[in-house]
């Protein structure tokens, strides 16, 4: 029997996983050893897995992480106050289901951005939509969108993400425009029921964030929505980048 027309229709309907599984079953004669219901089950499972994998790939690409990191590669041996059990609990992504936030603080180089990206990667793997932004670039893009008329579109995009990662928050004081834009982003994502989760990384301890705003009312409004439902990772110790650089100098690749 010629199945070329069947293959063509599968591709036309974008049933790519089913197409490959059916083609393989014909090549290996597996279809002759399976009952019809077993063959249907095999094809549906293949199609489901393929669609899930393509969705995860789309989510990872759309997130635009700073680092291609994952939880399995995190170094827990360095003395930087990182509790393995706490991080593994967060990696289960239950914080996303509960609409909770994560605040990661510590000096430069201790791995804040890497950890945030690893948790974001894990969220994508679990089927959550994630978007990563360096805070300075986020504010710059928000200002540009106001100028070109795409501000509401960007705000809506930020609101719809299951997880928004704001990296390197607080490197510079917030001017009035940035304060108001940040408030709008957070308000859209966090109503009193906590609709979406946010990860924020900063070199400054949380206790000093209030000073960044220079305006008490907005600071209270933003921090009240972020801090009170947040898990905190307060990292300490020497720079991981310096440590790895020192190891590489001592052990050069031949």
Domain boundaries, the chain: 4-62, 78-239
* CATH 3.40.50.300 correct for 78-239: yes
Other Cβ atoms less than 10 A from the Cβ of 240: the count is 17
Segment 188-230, tens digit of pLDDT = 887 654 589 999 999 999 999 988 888 889 999 999 888 887 9
Segment 98-155, tens digit of pLDDT = 999 999 999 988 899 999 999 999 999 999 999 999 999 999 999 999 999 999 999 9
Question: Which residue in 206, 210, 195, 224 sits closest to 103, CA to CA?
Answer: 206
Burial class (CB in 10 A: 0-12, 13-18, 19+), 91: buried
Rounded to whole angstroms, the Cα distance separating 58 from 125 reads: 11
Is pTM beyond 0.85? Reply is no
Paired with 232 in beta bridges are 103
């Amino acid at each position: 029997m010629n199945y070329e027309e069947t293959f063509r229709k599968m591709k036309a309907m974008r049933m790519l996983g089913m197409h490959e599984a059916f083609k393989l079953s014909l090549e290996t004669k597996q279809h002759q050893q399976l009952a019809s219901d077993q063959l249907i089950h095999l094809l549906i499972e293949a199609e489901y897995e393929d669609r899930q994998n393509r969705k995860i790939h789309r989510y990872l690409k759309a997130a635009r992480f700073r680092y291609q990191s994952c939880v399995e590669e995190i170094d827990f041996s360095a003395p930087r106050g990182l509790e393995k059990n706490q991080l593994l609990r967060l990696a289960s992504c239950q914080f996303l289901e509960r609409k909770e936030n994560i605040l990661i603080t510590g000096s430069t180089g201790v791995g804040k951005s890497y950890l945030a990206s690893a948790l974001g990667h894990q969220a994508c793997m679990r089927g959550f939509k994630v978007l990563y932004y360096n805070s300075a670039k986020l504010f710059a893009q928000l200002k540009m969108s106001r100028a070109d008329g795409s501000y509401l579109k960007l705000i809506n995009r930020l609101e719809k993400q299951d997880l928004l990662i704001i990296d390197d928050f607080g490197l510079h004081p917030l001017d009035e425009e940035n304060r108001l834009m940040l408030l709008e982003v957070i308000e859209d994502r966090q109503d009193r029921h906590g609709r979406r989760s946010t990860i924020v990384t900063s070199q400054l301890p949380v206790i000093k964030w209030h000073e960044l705003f220079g305006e008490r009312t907005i600071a209270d409004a933003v921090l009240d929505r972020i801090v009170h439902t947040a898990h905190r990772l307060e990292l300490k110790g020497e720079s991981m980048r310096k440590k790895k650089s020192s190891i590489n100098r001592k052990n050069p690749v031949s």
